[in-house]
A = this chain, B = another copy of it.
Amino acid sequence: MSYAGPVKSMHYLLRHAVDIDALLEQPAHEEVSHELISDVLSGAAAFAGDVLAPINWDGDQNPAQIKDGNVTASPGFKQAYHAFVESGWQSLPVPAAQGGMGLPSVIGVATNEMFYAANMAFGLCPMLTSSAAKAIAAHASPDLKDKYLSKMITGEWSGAMCLTEPQAGSDLGPVRTKAVDNDDGTYAITGQKIYITWGDHDCADNIIHLVLARLPDSPEGSRGISLFLCPKFLVNDDGLIGRRNAFKPIGLEHKLGIHASPTCVMEFDRAAGWLVGDVNRGLACMFTMMNEARLFVGVQGVAIGDRAFQAALAYANDRVQGKVPGGQENDPIIGHPDVRRMLIDMKTRLMSARAINMATAMAGDLAVCADDVMAKLHHAREALLTPIAKAYSTDIGVEIASVGVQIHGGMGFVEETGAAQHYRDARIAPIYEGTNGIQAMDLIGRKIRRDGGEAIKALITELGAIDEICQKAVDKGAEFEAARGALATGLSVLTEAVEIILKADEMDALSSAAPFLKLAGDVISGAYLIKAAANGTLSGDDGAAEMKALADYHALAILPQAGAQINFMRSAAKIVFGFPALQLTDL
Contact = CB atoms under 8 A, between A and B. Distances in A.
B587 A12 contact: yes
A272 interface: no
Contacts of A369: none
Nearest to A343: B584
Interface stretch (A51-59, A237-245, A573-581): A573-581
Interface in A532-587: 542-543, 546-547, 549-550, 552-553, 556-557, 560-561, 563-568, 571-573, 575-581, 583-587
Contacts of A69: none
A430 B430 CA distance: 22
B409 A170 contact: yes
Q: How many copies does the complex hold?
A: 2
Given A338-B511, A423-B427, A567 B578 contact: no
A87 interface: no
A585 B45 CA distance: 13
Contact of A581 (B169, B340, B415, B576): B340
A347 B431 contact: no
A321 B171 CA distance: 6
Interface stretch (A101-109, A149-157, A374-382, A432-440): A432-440
Contact of A557 (B560, B568, B585): B568
Contact of A513 (B255, B323, B338, B578): B338
A569 B566 CA distance: 23
Interface stretch (A135-143, A289-297, A398-406): A398-406
Interface residues of A, number: 102
A195 interface: yes
A167 B567 CA distance: 49
Contacts of A414: 253-256
B575 A556 contact: yes
A4 interface: yes
Contacts of A573: 337
17 contacts: A6-B586, A9-B586, A171-B322, A253-B414, A256-B405, A257-B413, A325-B507, A337-B507, A338-B514, A341-B572, A412-B431, A546-B587, A549-B579, A553-B576, A557-B564, A560-B563, A563-B563
